[in-house]
Amino acid sequence: MKYFFLALFLLCVLVVGIGGFRGQLKSERPIEIFPDMDVQDKILGQADSHFFSDGQGSRNPVQGSVPHAGDDGVFPVEFSEGRSGYYYTGAIDDYFGNGMPAELGLDKDNIEAFLRLGHERYATSCAPCHGATGDGKGITSYYGMAGIANLHTKPRETTPDGNIYNTITNGKGLMGSYGATLPVRDRWAIVAYIRALQTAMKTDAAAVVAPSEPSTASN
């Protein structure tokens, strides 16, 4: 019996020696047999971080971030929710308008970047269904999606820019809406890119004459 108590005493000394008293603060990391992901390679809220040059762990949202389901209905300014005017709706009074809105501030210096933006956004958001050229034969059509619009047919070629903008914003039929995910500027850039695609794919050449001029071209 004596040996048992001696062994028990030594065992307690050993356990306390390795594990330490409970409730005591130590600077070293405790021995964890089952770590349960207590220690993770992450930055806690409001903590410093030397990873970023400004030394802050918390980051500002990237430009164009979409807030998660705002019950208060507040959307950032680059989205059209609850706003009116041609730039935000594609409509002038009761009709769809044509042409790029002045708010885009397009000029010869930024038009190339604008079309590039349209190309990039079209490739990401639209091409999976409408295809890279707009023929409606994107990857989803091979997996059974039916009824995808070919953007090179008459009503889509002649429809006003504002109608295409509206389709992007609110969706149509089987097509979902992009009003909450694509900023207004990106939507117009896509419209401009679709117009470029349509013009480039046009093969039905026809002579266009101004009404007041003679109808025979002489060159």
Residues that bind ligand HEC (CB under 6 A): 125-126, 128-130, 140, 147-149, 151, 156, 164, 167-168, 172-175, 178, 190
CB of 38 to ligand HEC, least distance (A): 43
CA atoms of 136 and 113, how far apart (whole Å): 26
CB of 80 to ligand HEC, least distance (A): 14
Give, in order, the Cα–Cα distances in Å from 119 to each of 123, 160, 216. Answer: 6, 19, 38
- Measured from the CB atom, the residue of 57 and 135 that comes closer to ligand HEC is 135
Query: Looking at beta carbons only, is 89 or 125 nearer to ligand HEC?
Result: 125
CB of 153 to ligand HEC, least distance (A): 9
**Dihedral (CA of 152, 112, 86, 184) sign:** positive
Nearer to ligand HEC, 56 or 170 (CB): 170
Cα–Cα distance, 78 to 185 (Å, whole number): 7
Residue nearest to ligand HEC according to CB distances in the complex? 173
Reference 194, options 146, 137, 130, 142; nearest CA is 130
| Distance of alpha carbon 98 from alpha carbon 107, whole angstroms | 17
Q: How far is the CB of 128 from ligand HEC (least distance, A)?
A: 5
CA angle (173, 177, 181) in 5-degree steps: 165
- CB of residue 148 vs ligand HEC: minimum separation in angstroms? 4
Whichever of 56 and 120 has its CB closer to ligand HEC, that residue is 120
For residues 4 and 143, which CB has a smaller minimum distance to ligand HEC in the complex?
143
The answer to whether 187 and 165 have CB atoms below 8 angstroms apart is yes
